[in-house]
Amino acid sequence: METKRTINMKLNPKCLIDPKQDKQKTYITSQNLAHSAKGFILPCCWCDIPEPEKDEQIKKLFNKKLHLDNNDTIEDIILSDEWFNFFSTLTDDTSNASSVCKKYCSVGDNKTVVVKKVIVDNKEILK
Ligand code: SF4
């Protein structure tokens, strides 16, 4: 038997500048925004995945209202509720952060792991 477990996921979002020091909850994004071929601005190029609709967090950044054709400035997009909510998962709700962010910006060994065996005192307690 195997089971998937997420253990205390910690993120160090490369797209945010010192998010943990920001007590005002205003997110300062870095200068490395990405521009998808579909016409959307994204926090980084890793978010430009082939099927964004399959990722609960990233699909919000592909909302039609955030398309470049529907906005006058980049600021209109990155100051949207969708972007704010996306960033808030990176700092306050990491268990619900995008799997893309967990893959590229997690810290240490705390990732979703597949547990195949647990051995305690030479006894297998999960097979
Ligand atoms: S993968 Fe996620 S957390 Fe990392 S830089 Fe990109 S948007 Fe930010």
- Please tell me what DSSP assigns to residue 3: E
Q: Six-digit token pair at 57?
A: 């967090």
CB-CB neighbours of 109 under 10 Å: 9
Q: pLDDT: is 72 or 88 the higher one?
A: 72
**Band of pLDDT at residue 47, cut at 50, 70 and 90:** very high
Report the range out of 53-57, 80-84, 119-123 with the highest average pLDDT.
53-57
Q: Which residues line ligand 1 (CB under 6 A)?
A: 13-15, 43-44, 46-47, 90, 100-101, 104-105
Distance CA 16, CA 87 (A): 8
Q: What is the pLDDT of residue 74?
A: 87
Average pLDDT of the chain is 80
Distance CA 8, CA 76 (A): 34
Any bridge partners for residue 34, and if so which? 42
Percent of the chain whose pLDDT exceeds 90 = 37
Torsion of CA 29, 57, 114, 123, to 10 degrees: 90
If you measure from the C-alpha of residue 70 to the centroid of ligand 1, how many angstroms do you get, rounded to a whole number?
24
